[in-house]
Amino acid sequence: MLKSKKYLVTAGPTQEAIDPVRYISNHSTGKMGYAIAAELARRGAQVILVSGPVCLPTPTGVRRIDVVSAEEMYQACVELWPQMDGAVMCAAVADYTPVSVSDVKAKKSAADLTLTLKPTRDIAAELGRTKRTDQLLVGFALETDNEKVNALSKLTRKNLDFIVLNSLRDAGAGFGGDTNKITIFSRPTDPAATSLKTEFPLETKQQAAAHIINTLSAFLK
């Protein structure tokens, strides 16, 4: 069913330059997104992986486009989206970026330093805004509190078909490790119904990726 379908996957962190030697980023290692790209390719999909800077090999059969900043990831995804059957937005995109980037290394001084940051553009929300009825859009929510409320708000705000929640309160979930504990909230096809919730046990990121792709496949039936 996924055979010959075209999927976009985003993965990893983004880096927002302050000057030629410094940047703002986060702890994402890209493992979850790479596992999803690998699983989609294994099931016969044509996968384009738009990746922030990570230290991982490109999964077999996957075409990888490397980007650094949130803006570069936005440009790559928005350009690819019309040719895609769906997208899984797994990247931990920086929410803010410096207003100005120094082209020389900023020198240390004794005074406090204030950085002015501006919000980045929301890639998932833009893909959701322009999504066609034949396209599927999957997002992630990494939360530390108020998990269900935040995940459901992102599900509707970004016009996703389903969202994968990770809670940093769960041991073994989140950045860096080889395991994850996910809960999937799906948008019901019946508008009168409430969202559908499926909770999975602690498992490897490969197993979690298989569950996510099973959920995606169920939408294609």
Three-state SS string across 106-160, please? CCCCCCCCCCCEEECCCHHHHHHHCCCCCCEEEEEEEECCCHHHHHHHHHHHCCC
β-strands 62-66, 6-11: how paired?
A: unpaired
Listed ranges 52-60, 116-124, 169-177, 196-204: which one lies at the site for ligand CTP (CB under 6 A): 116-124
Residue 38 or residue 94: which is nearer to ligand CTP going by CB? 94
Closest-CA residue to 93 (of 79, 74, 76): 74
95 CB burial (10 A radius; 0-12, 13-18, 19+) = middle
Contact status: 182 vs ligand CTP (CB under 6 A): no
Contact status: 45 vs ligand CTP (CB under 6 A): no
Catalytic one of 26, 150, 180, 214: 26
Among 35, 37, 50, 123, the residue binding ligand CTP under the rule CB under 6 A is 123
Residue 85 or residue 95: which is nearer to ligand CTP going by CB? 95
Contact status: 181 vs ligand CTP (CB under 6 A): no
Contact status: 124 vs ligand CTP (CB under 6 A): yes
Question: Rounded distance, CA 135 to CA 177, Å?
Answer: 31
Among 5, 154, 181, 205, the residue binding ligand CTP under the rule CB under 6 A is 154
Annotated catalytic residue 214: no
**DSSP-based helix, strand, coil % in the chain, nearest 5:** 25, 30, 45
Among 35, 41, 91, 209, the residue binding ligand CTP under the rule CB under 6 A is 91
Among 70, 137, 152, 212, the residue binding ligand CTP under the rule CB under 6 A is 70
34 in Cβ contact with 49 (< 8 Å)? yes
Contact status: 152 vs ligand CTP (CB under 6 A): no
The residues, ordered by sequence, that sit 6+ positions from 192 with a Cβ below 8 Å of its Cβ are none
Among 89, 136, 165, 216, the residue binding ligand CTP under the rule CB under 6 A is 89
Binding-site ranges for ligand CTP (CB under 6 A): 10, 70, 89, 91, 93, 95, 120, 122-124, 139-142, 154, 158
